[in-house]
A and B are shown apart, each in its own frame.
Chain A
Amino acid sequence: MLRDVANWIERLLGLDPATFAYSWITSVVVIGVMALVAFVFIAFFAGPVTWWERRLAGRIQSRIGPNRVGPQGVLQWLADGIKCFLKEDLIPAQADKGLYMFAPYLVFGGYMATFAVLPFGANLIAADLDVGLLYLLAITGLVVIGSLMAGWSSNNKWALFGGIRSAAQLVSYEIPSAFSLMSVVLAAGTMSMQGIIRQQGAWPWDWFVFRNPFLFLAFFLSLTSSIAEGNRTPFDLPEGESELVAGYHVEYSGMRFLWFMFAEWGNLWVIASIATVCFLGGWQIPGMSPAEIAASTGLAFWGWQALTLGVFVAKASVLVAFVIQVRWTLPRLRVDQLMITCWKYLVPGALFCLAGVLVLLAVVPENGIADWALRGVSLAAGLAIAVAYVWKTRAAYMADRDLYRRMEGKELWYPPFRLP
């Protein structure tokens, strides 16, 4: 991909890529531009999502949320960003200055590095590594080290507790996360992100999540453990406000604080797109095979790229909304409950899925009657869960609305665009 783009640019400049002596300059420029694109994407994703999350949280908790900056408050994230830019970058006198200043970049760098292998469309990926999925699991090591570094160098007991909790949690939940994604690797026969997507189809019954009951279970295990790895509620013990104030970033202010926030909300996209790639069929479009997309040329090629990008973003956004809703619905776990969830339920569950997928791969021939029966069962279970989920959400809203009407004597804001 990298070299393709560089060759294309060289041809655009009237140079022959085969004989051009300074092609390393174009390579370096392309690498720089790709990193910049990823960075801009994180900034423009993380920012608006903070607003989205706060509005959703407000709705779930029967309050309003930010609605003053711009129409419905959509520009709140810009105001917050400018505020953080202008704030003093405070460094505690007793902090370990070098490590303190470096830690936010390490955490942010760890999340940004994942964007190197995350696909956005049929050909929109920075590097389709042969070991892409393993790379995603491995690179979180930077985040662990970064949060430990932030916690220790702040020279603050809350921060140290937060950092150690965060590291312990990340290291523990890496295991169920890796095992549940490994079932996908077994089913796909590859660890490359695009390869995993190509092994699935565009229709739901071709997605890995509905391939068989074990992969169906693995989807939920993987999503749970990646939420835990992202330190999000119900697993946000490292930041638990009631005990640790804010965890490992308690001492940070201004721009350095903002790097942590970028990483935290950028990670929402990482969670959602790993699940989309591994279980929900990625960017596949019905009726259009990946080979046909790759074979198209010119404007059609870019049209397909845009369309696949749209499909991928739509799927990932639904998951992002779900993860946000989970955050504002479930209470925080205790430390012992956190460890019990991981070691007594998620790890054995993920191993069970792995073994089940292995057995099914060996026993059930693809596209046979048994295969389609398994797909049907999984799809039915998925549909039932989706319907129950929507139904429960609606019922909760209705109950809330009736209560509000009885208490206040007026209508609750509905639909969402008519918020006060």
Chain B
Amino acid sequence: MADIRNHGDNNLLGSIGYAWRLLATGFSFMLFGIGGALLSVVLYTVSHLIPMSSDRKLAFIRGTISRTLSIYLLFLRLCGLLSYEIHGRKYIKPGGQLIIANHPSLLDVAFLISLIKQADCVVKASLWRTPLTRGPVSTAKYIRNDSKQLIQDCVQSLHQGNSLVVFPEGTRTQPGEPLKFHRGVANVALMAEKDITPITINCEPATLLKNQKWYQIPRRPPHYTIRILPDIAIGPHLAMAAMQSQKARRLNRDLMDFFTARTTGQND
């Protein structure tokens, strides 16, 4: 757990840098709140008052959220709060992709939604209860993770041609714990017969963990390395002579091995 008094470089310059980042972090959380409120107003207006076909509306709303988050991430980078590198953009297709990623930090969903311009996304149900996020998540018709037919919702979204972003861990990674995925994604991939596009997110040093306060910032700005990797083919799993429950377990294990091999050690 980061200690705010123990801020690394003991020289003056380091302290100023740290104080600046602390201030800017507070400001960027505030900006997120204000941005969320403004975005809610804009999206509400578009979805209720502008006459447009519902498909076009949804595309506009999701596109707007994507662009807003891109700008927000750029702002964080310009403030010196974080840096990032993104590899493998060529593996992003215009739609119909099942995209899964590990989940080391609070900003992961911002990175993914900004990368994939028209993403559908499985989102934590509590964001429908938080005033600042309720507007965007409800007008964008993202999929709630407490849906009674979560798997069917996901399959349907993919069949409609959407790209769907899912964090199979269901919550942020527990540093030091072995990676554990829910089987839902494996079931979605098998039922929708979709290849899986894996995205690995490494964040060094770890920041914005679960149970951390906003002011518990790391000694140096975190650097995100985001890698979009070639698809994992679902064909061999579909061809296996086994029942769905067995296939899903095997696929899920393969996915966990895949991500464990590419992300371990990042949070130690």
On whether the two chains bind one another, the answer is no
